[in-house]
Amino acid sequence: MSQLNYKTVLLYQFWNLFPKVIFYGTPEFARYCLDALIVAGYPIIMVITAPDRRSGRGKKINSSAVKEYSVKKKLPLLQPVNLKDSNFISRLKNLQPEIQIVVAFRMLPKVVWKVPSYGTINLHASLLPNYRGAAPINWVLINGEKRTGVSTFLINEKIDTGAVLLQKEVSIGKEYNVGIHHDILLKLGAPLIIKTIEGVVSGSLSAISQEISGQEKEAPKLTTENTRLDWALKIEEIQNKINGLSPNPGAWTVFKNKDEEGRMKIFKTKIVTSLPNESINKIIVKQGEILIVTQDGYLNCIELQLPNKKRMTASALLNGYSFDENATVL
């Protein structure tokens, strides 16, 4: 159904062959999937997204990517603060959805995910049961995985533990960062949702319980603590972490330069494999490049950000800033 022409879509809608869908999502990843459902002809009877938030220095009100898209397309929209609110639940039930699709949204209470007749399907950006949690796109890169993918599964009481419906696998390029990886998974996920709906509605698709070995890797929420660089690690592990946090939120470290000590974010690097003679953690400026000494090589910092400065290339930073010969990272 993902490639039906317009006349066929109208015919399917006339004969009521498309299930009525409620869509839950917030960021760009979700917006892309919602658009794919609209293009494929699915009747979206309601969109649920996060409430608007104030952010930035001016405390400007910001809407989610899903809200902006829904308003543009004139889709019915709700932004509940409390998903257990009785009025919200009543409205969901009155809509009589046949299926609910969840992409990058908060955990749904049972009273919500039990509403539709075909169940509630979640798209997760990993090959479950590995990388359950809030940040799978980041953690597969941080851990240096060579392959990953997307999964659709039926939501149950626990986070990312429901029976799997479909999965699509993809290799991870050596130079991938979060931005590149996100866009690849996004283009895998949207058609997988449509294929999943087709299989569930036709009865041709069976859900398979996740088999747990106890060795599964997790994808916890990113915090200040787990986004800090550890310079005791091998250089490839350090670079993996930088790639897994770039462009956002950015891997960080503390640097000391003369009398200045502050937080430095590093976004893009290149490994120089020659064994260093200098002390580990030392910052070296050489021929317009900023190098950090690790136990098994030099990390060439190509793009970085110092306190009260914009993200910039090393060469641009060095135009107006200098590192002392004793500068280090901590």
C-alpha pair distances (Å), 57 with each of 60, 76, 133: 8, 31, 30
CATH superfamily ID and name for 235-329: Formyl transferase, C-terminal domain (3.10.25.10)
Q: Which pLDDT belongs to residue 16? A: 57
**Where do the CATH 3.40.50.170 domains begin and end in the chain?**
6-202
Q: Does the predicted TM-score (pTM) go above 0.75? A: yes
Q: Amino acid letter at 304?
A: L
Q: Which pLDDT belongs to residue 170? A: 97
Residue 113 is given by DSSP the state H
Radius of gyration of the chain (CA): 23
How many residues in the chain? 330
Token code pair at residue 286: 């050489």
Residue 85 is given by DSSP the state -
Q: Which pLDDT belongs to residue 17? A: 67
Q: Which pLDDT belongs to residue 59? A: 75
Q: List the chain residues with pLDDT less than 70.
A: 1-17, 56-58
Contact 275, 296 (CB under 8 A): yes
Instruction: Give the CATH number of domain 6-202.
Output: 3.40.50.170
Q: Which pLDDT belongs to residue 69? A: 97
Token code pair at residue 158: 């626990």
Q: Which pLDDT belongs to residue 274? A: 86
> Which residues are registered as beta bridge partners of 234?
none
**Where do the CATH 3.10.25.10 domains begin and end in the chain?**
235-329
Nearest of 276, 273, 280 to residue 253 by alpha carbon: 280
Q: Which pLDDT belongs to residue 15? A: 45
- Cα torsion for 233, 235, 238, 243, to the nearest 10°? -160
